[in-house]
Structure 1
Amino acid sequence: MASSPSDAHMALLGTQFADLSAALMRDDDTGLDPQRVVRFATRSIPNTEHCGVTLLRPGHAPRTMTTTGELPQQVDELQYAVHEGPCLDASETDMVAITGDLDKDERWPVFGPRCAEETGVQSMLSVRLALAAEDQAAMNFYSRGRNAFTELDVGVASIFAPYAALAVEQTLREQDAANFHKALSSSRQIGTAIGIIMARKLVTSDEAFDILRRASQDLNRKLRDLAAEVQETGALPTTREKDPASSSEGG
């Protein structure tokens, strides 16, 4: 049975998406590269000057995860400072936030005029990224021209959004795993250091932890770093304060 023109178009489309996925992969083929995603997205939307990704995580300040230049970072920092703007709206509430006259847009009465005056950016397009759990994000496009973005641009941005979401998701999971292993290692080091202090000073675990904590404060060093040294050397570094156990002699 002969294939129809629509079958050929779908096959071509599938090949193009496969080629795009390959182009957005990291050099080691371990996943999508967020930086490549924003670069390719910028090239695919002629009227944009830059692209970036805004990330919102519970318990953390908003941050710009990746960009194609300094301009997005400048614009985003202003949004984070005044708590309003298209990047935040797209991340939190709207699927798409688009504007072509920031200095007059009533949705962002503080951010809009300041952004136009301080950065020259008049047009922005932000598309929400679908992330797991409570993480939120948006891919954002920036232009100094007025009314720079069209409905076609929204469509093209929406094609890149799933790639950006996957790249962000993978990066976050890798960061979370690294932080977990670091915290676990620190916990083990602190536990070992407490055991060493208990054995050397014949004190309880609570007293040993208090000794370690006070030494950390006195030496102005992080607790985990001090614990690592105790684990390595088997002794607590000398502090400016005398150990109460050795203070029985008169001055």
Structure 2
Amino acid sequence: METVQLMQHLGTQFSELSAALLATDGSGLDPDRVVRFAAMAVPSTHHCGLTLLRPKQAPHTVSSTDELSRNVDRIQYALGEGPCLDAAEAETAEIAGQLDTDERWPRFGPRCVEETGVLSMLSIRLAMVGQDQAAMNFYSRERDAFGELELAVASIFAPFAALSVEHTLRERDARNFEAALSSSRQIGTAIGILMAQRRITSKEAFSVLRRASQHLNRKLRDVAEEVERTGALPVRASSPLPDDEVVDGTGTA
């Protein structure tokens, strides 16, 4: 693509992307939308995706244009090496044009080419808040597909991608917090019901809940929800939890 045509193409892409990001319902911050725009804008790109690294969690692909890019990422995650993992933790971008012979990733490269046909990758770090790390990844089945021009265009998309990932994480964290808060309230209510019914302490009532959870092989919050709803512990018909079981408050989860 000629430089003038590329600039015109990019202008159109960014106009559409900017309009999408200004959507009042927040839908413009969808990572899927960002990777689609980026894949169309960066020359020689066939696929695009976003990799996220969060403390104490396995690497995760937040969004991708298709299943092929997710397959490339799965290989990297399984082997613990690859451009997207390095880029997420580094200050510089990672560019690979011949993955089958690239000595930086001796296990990932050959396997990636054999299983997916992807020969070139461009991975660029996203600026994230706190300890989260992320990278935007571009994939091509051509050799030496990415250079300085592609890196420059990808770098323009990076802030949009980072913003979309942050937005997604904040929404997810908020949902998890609300679920945890709701679960805590249900457990507290269930403990109160058991305390009143059995005339036991809060510690003993919590132990009763945990024992029931183990006995029924159900999550603690689900058992608590049923106690809150029905006023009684759920039982397994074939093997009910004895109502007069000794409770010393030291049961294990």
Same fold (TM over 0.5): yes
Corresponding residue of 2:250: none
Distance change (3 Å), C-alpha of 1:65 and 1:246: closer
Pick aligned residue for 1:111 from 108, 113, 125 = 108
Tell me the TM-score normalized by structure 1.
0.88
Is there any run of 5+ residues in structure 2 with no aligned partner, and where? 1-9, 247-253
Corresponding residue of 1:8: none
Q: Which SS does the other structure have where 1:237 is aligned?
A: coil
Are the equivalent residues in 1 in contact too, given 2:53–2:59 (CA < 8 A)? Answer: yes
Are the equivalent residues in 2 in contact too, given 1:86–1:126 (CA < 8 A)? Answer: yes
Is there any run of 5+ residues in structure 1 with no aligned partner, and where? 1-12
Q: Which SS does the other structure have where 2:163 is aligned?
A: helix
Corresponding residue of 2:92: 95
Structure 1 residue 31 displacement after superposition: 4.7
Percent identity between the two aligned chains: 65
In the aligned structure 1, how far is the partner of 2:102 from the partner of 2:13?
37
Corresponding residue of 2:156: 159
Q: Which SS does the other structure have where 1:148 is aligned?
A: coil
Greater Cα shift, 20-29 or 204-213: 20-29
Pick aligned residue for 2:221 from 221, 224, 240 = 224
Larger radius of gyration: 1
The aligned amino acid for 1:243 is P
Structure 1 residue 204 displacement after superposition: 1.3
- The 5 A counterparts of 1:108-187 are 108-187=105-184
Corresponding residue of 1:7: none
Distance change (3 Å), C-alpha of 1:160 and 1:205: same
Structure 1 residue 29 displacement after superposition: 3.9
Corresponding residue of 2:78: 81
Structure 1 residue 26 displacement after superposition: 5.6
Are the equivalent residues in 2 in contact too, given 1:53–1:137 (CA < 8 A)? Answer: yes
Q: Which SS does the other structure have where 1:51 is aligned?
A: strand
The aligned amino acid for 1:164 is A
In the aligned structure 1, how far is the partner of 2:33 from the partner of 2:205?
50
Are the equivalent residues in 2 in contact too, given 1:26–1:33 (CA < 8 A)? Answer: no
What is the root-mean-square deviation in Å for CA atoms of aligned residues?
2.1
Pick aligned residue for 1:41 from 33, 38, 43 = 38
Q: Which SS does the other structure have where 1:47 is aligned?
A: coil
Structure 1 residue 32 displacement after superposition: 1.4
Are the equivalent residues in 1 in contact too, given 2:212–2:241 (CA < 8 A)? Answer: no
Pick aligned residue for 2:67 from 64, 70, 84 = 70
Tell me the TM-score normalized by structure 2.
0.87
